[in-house]
Structure 1
Amino acid sequence: MATNSANPNSWRKNLAVLWFGTFMAGVGFSEIMPFLSLYVDSLGNFTHDELSLYSGLAFAASYFVTALASPLWGKLADRTGRKLMLVRASAGMAIVFILMGLVTNVWELIGLRLLQGVFSGYISNANALIATQVPKRKSGQALGTLVTGNVSGTLLGPLLGGTLASIFTYRVTFFITGFLFLIVFLITTFMVHEDFQPVLKSKMLNTKDVIGELSNAKLVFGMFVTTMIIQAANNSIVPILALYVRQIMHNSPATTFYSGIVAAVPGIATLFAAPLLGRLGDRLGTDKILIAGLILAMVVYVPMAFVTNVWQLIALRFLIGISNASMLPAVQAILAKNTPPHVTGRVFSWNQSFQAMGNVAGPMIGSVVSSEFDYAGVFISTALLVVVNLTMVYFNTRAMRKARV
């Protein structure tokens, strides 16, 4: 079973190394997104509808497989340790991204994107490893700090990817991304330390037994659904965000520039706010921070539907970044505080599956709503999603609030 390291402060070194690892993973995942559809277009002569279909398949494929594969990897992590899963994920990603640079047709690319989902799990296992090592009283701070690695990498990635693709080619950018994951593989292999006593396969808990180990299974599964809705809400506006910016800027030539700012601003806010809110949650109650974040999101999404200039949208998106900083890290902290160490890998992998389902559902919701109504309707529907989430979280965390009284 998993144990804390003999050195009570070793989690700090692991946190620093895994912060860098999740940063590089964030860069690697996000730097290909600005040109993925263009890369698809370069692989054949497609009609507009075919290009939209193949680009959508290439985008969603990895998330779909991640949702299916994560529980299997989580079960293996609880038997073999989180570090091995980190090494497995980083090595697999390095190979997959290099192969993406060698494809000759769109189906090879989609197939490799499916394989990318199989090799998922670096970030979820990084969270699980830190969650099992950090003292419970500091889990909010530690997990809030760790999430800034992925967020900052995701912010830098599109800029780096666009620059590399313009200087070199799409294929070379995939090779560079593969090299980044090779670096992650090396630092994880040689610098991450985990004391772990392997669990015999015959003694592995099945799903029913894992649920039985949870002191508050209802709360844990409620957090899974909360994660899914958070991701769906965040991603529901992705398909229409640049189009919305173009609309409120009246087709200005500067639309592309400001679309980049609008897309990046939430991540910048999250980067600075997450560690602070994590520490505040450890002091006041993580559930309070989560509820406050959901209330802020609900209040902010509605006026986004009625902005009249891009600066109003940028300001509101900054507030959404603060809301995001309070939500997913808070969910992870609640999971860490309510999960025994020997099933943490399984629980965090289940959470990643729900997160992936939200990544798939969000853009679909946004696309359907925008086609049936208008861009403003997407923000209203997203606010309604947050209201549903807030109601669920309020009732699911009621026991936590009673315990503090």
Structure 2
Amino acid sequence: MFRSLRERNYRYYASGQVVSLTGTWMQRAAQDWLVLELSGGSPASLGLAVALQFIPTLLLTLWAGVIADRFDKRRMLIGTQSALGACGLVLGLLNVTGLVQLWHVFVLCFVLGCFAAVDAPVRQSFVVEMVGQAQLTNAVALNSMTFNLARIVGPAIAGVLITAIGTGWVFLANGLSSVAVVAGLALMDQAALHRVRPPPKERGQLRAGLRYVRGRPDLIVVMVLVFCLGTFGMNFESTFAVVARNTFERDADGYGLLITMLAIGTLTGAALAARRSGRGVPRLRLMLLGAAVFGILEAAASLMPTYELFAVALIPVGVAVMTFTTSANSTVQLAVEPTMRGRVMGLYMLLFLGGKPLGGLASGWIAEVLGPRWPILLGGLASLAAAVGGAAVLAWRRRGAGSVDGGVARSRRLG
């Protein structure tokens, strides 16, 4: 289950990520709460903050994938992780000194989003360099476990700290936590990395990556599913805070508990994915099933009448969403040529994160007009529809391929 940790470089990376991601989730919870406080509880303002944080993904992630294929990923990550930590420190200083205004938060959301947009495809494609092809699926699952362990601990700590000492100190703690992941990257043995020869410098590398994906129907189905679920189904940042505050009349610790309950489910789902990683490569069938079950469970959770039932319902939602995301990520990385991995993962992260501005704004508007539960219900139904559509496309292509193969075989017999 923990085979990837045998790699020394990956141990350094994972150890730093535990600390840094805990700080990241503390900041996310504090940022959502700060926006609601500064805006008087406006769901639309929270949706705008989420949108500003993810808009840079639309502009930068594809080009970051090209850069990831050509340059030293470890050095790039040291730079982006340092910059992300600096954003937390600046917001924390503005907050604790009492100078922070809503527009400050919006600006820093955009700046943080710029560095995160570059960081994402580089970080995703760096995993295989640390552990090699054989351990990639296991490492992706362990990354998800680390991410979701932080997702449990971070918001819980943030909820307590926000109530006790305010949001500003939470931002400062996140800024300092980035030191851990930067130190892990700096201590790596570069000779032990599984690097591939970068492609030659030439024009049209981005277009070449897009053409490569266009010629792979299996990758297209994964990309469309990732976009639909990431945009409409996984808007937890802009829905849970509103549901906790406006529907169930809970404080910051109540919001933190909702994130924690979801993370218990996602951590469980990641652990199951790590156990499955020893059984061979991930299958598209599992990815489609995870997407469909996630949609059903999310829609059902939106109908829960009490805060306690809503919180408990988030656990199976987390298991399903992690089944989908780990299988989708591993499927893409193992299915592509090594020299294309950065560009393909750039497109993957663009679709996974780039729709969040649209999803965040739509969720805020729907919550304002129809109520806080509706974005969750509609997001679940949209995810279910995308999964059914993806399964139908793949089944249709298999039948078409089977008919062609059968026709060729009959022609050969007649000949």
TM-score band (shorter)? Answer: 0.7 to 0.9
Q: Does 1:387 align with 2:378?
A: no
Q: 1:157 to 1:256 in 2, by over 3 A?
A: closer
Within a 5 Å distance, the mapping from 1:50-89 to structure 2 comes to: 56-89=47-80
Residue 345 of structure 1 deviates from its aligned partner by 1.5
Q: 1:167 to 1:247 in 2, by over 3 A?
A: closer
Q: 1:207 to 1:326 in 2, by over 3 A?
A: same
| Contact kept? 1:74, 1:348, Cα under 8 Å | yes
Q: 1:21 to 1:234 in 2, by over 3 A?
A: farther
Q: 1:207 to 1:94 in 2, by over 3 A?
A: same
Within a 5 Å distance, the mapping from 1:142-161 to structure 2 comes to: 142-161=139-158
Distance 1:351 1:74 in 2: 10
Residue 321 of structure 1 deviates from its aligned partner by 0.9
Q: 1:61 to 1:21 in 2, by over 3 A?
A: farther
Between the two proteins, the alignment pairs up a number of residues equal to 389
1:12 to 7, 14, 23: 7
| Contact kept? 2:141, 2:270, Cα under 8 Å | yes
Q: 1:77 to 1:19 in 2, by over 3 A?
A: same
**Per-residue CA distance 1:8-32 (angstroms, 9 max, x = gap):** 9898333333323433342232212
Q: Does 1:116 align with 2:112?
A: yes
RMSD after superposition? 3.6
Q: Which shows bigger deviation, 192-201 or 95-104?
A: 192-201
2:335 to 332, 335, 338: 338
Distance 2:147 2:189 in 1: 17
Q: SS at 1:308's partner residue?
A: coil
Q: Which runs of 5+ in 2 are unaligned?
A: 403-415
Distance 1:370 1:72 in 2: 34
2:287 to 290, 293, 313: 290
Q: 1:86 to 1:58 in 2, by over 3 A?
A: same
Residue 257 of structure 1 deviates from its aligned partner by 5.2
**Per-residue CA distance 1:282-321 (angstroms, 9 max, x = gap):** 5474212212212322332343343334443333211111
Distance 2:120 2:335 in 1: 20
| Contact kept? 2:209, 2:340, Cα under 8 Å | yes
Corresponding residue of 2:353: 356
Corresponding residue of 2:226: 227
Q: Which shows bigger deviation, 117-126 or 161-170?
A: 161-170
| Contact kept? 1:286, 1:334, Cα under 8 Å | yes
Residue 80 of structure 1 deviates from its aligned partner by 0.7
Within a 5 Å distance, the mapping from 1:76-225 to structure 2 comes to: 76-103=67-94, 104=99, 106=101, 107-120=103-116, 121-132=118-129, 134=131, 136=133, 138-165=135-162, 168=165, 170-191=167-188, 193=190, 194-196=193-195, 199=198, 202-203=201-202, 206-213=205-212, 217-225=216-224
Residue 351 of structure 1 deviates from its aligned partner by 1.6
Corresponding residue of 1:28: 23
**Per-residue CA distance 1:67-126 (angstroms, 9 max, x = gap):** 322222221111013212211211221223223334445444433332212211445433
| Contact kept? 1:18, 1:192, Cα under 8 Å | no
Q: 1:285 to 1:91 in 2, by over 3 A?
A: closer
Q: 1:25 to 1:350 in 2, by over 3 A?
A: farther
AA of the residue aligned to 1:178: G
Q: Does 1:321 align with 2:318?
A: yes
Residue 204 of structure 1 deviates from its aligned partner by 6.5
Question: What TM-score, normalized by structure 2, do the two folds share?
Answer: 0.79
Q: Which runs of 5+ in 1 are unaligned?
A: 1-7
Distance 1:239 1:112 in 2: 17
**Per-residue CA distance 1:336-380 (angstroms, 9 max, x = gap):** 121111121122122222222233233333333334434454343
| Contact kept? 2:51, 2:358, Cα under 8 Å | no
Distance 2:388 2:288 in 1: 9
| Contact kept? 2:273, 2:323, Cα under 8 Å | yes
1:263 to 245, 251, 259: 259
Distance 1:373 1:334 in 2: 37
Residue 328 of structure 1 deviates from its aligned partner by 0.8
AA of the residue aligned to 1:261: L
Q: Which shows bigger deviation, 378-387 or 11-20?
A: 11-20
Distance 1:98 1:309 in 2: 37
**Per-residue CA distance 1:121-141 (angstroms, 9 max, x = gap):** 445433312235655454333
Question: What TM-score, normalized by structure 1, do the two folds share?
Answer: 0.81
Distance 1:172 1:66 in 2: 28
Q: SS at 1:191's partner residue?
A: coil
Distance 2:164 2:251 in 1: 23
Residue 164 of structure 1 deviates from its aligned partner by 4.2
Q: SS at 1:222's partner residue?
A: helix
Residue 381 of structure 1 deviates from its aligned partner by 1.4
> How high is the sequence identity, in percent, across the aligned residues?
13
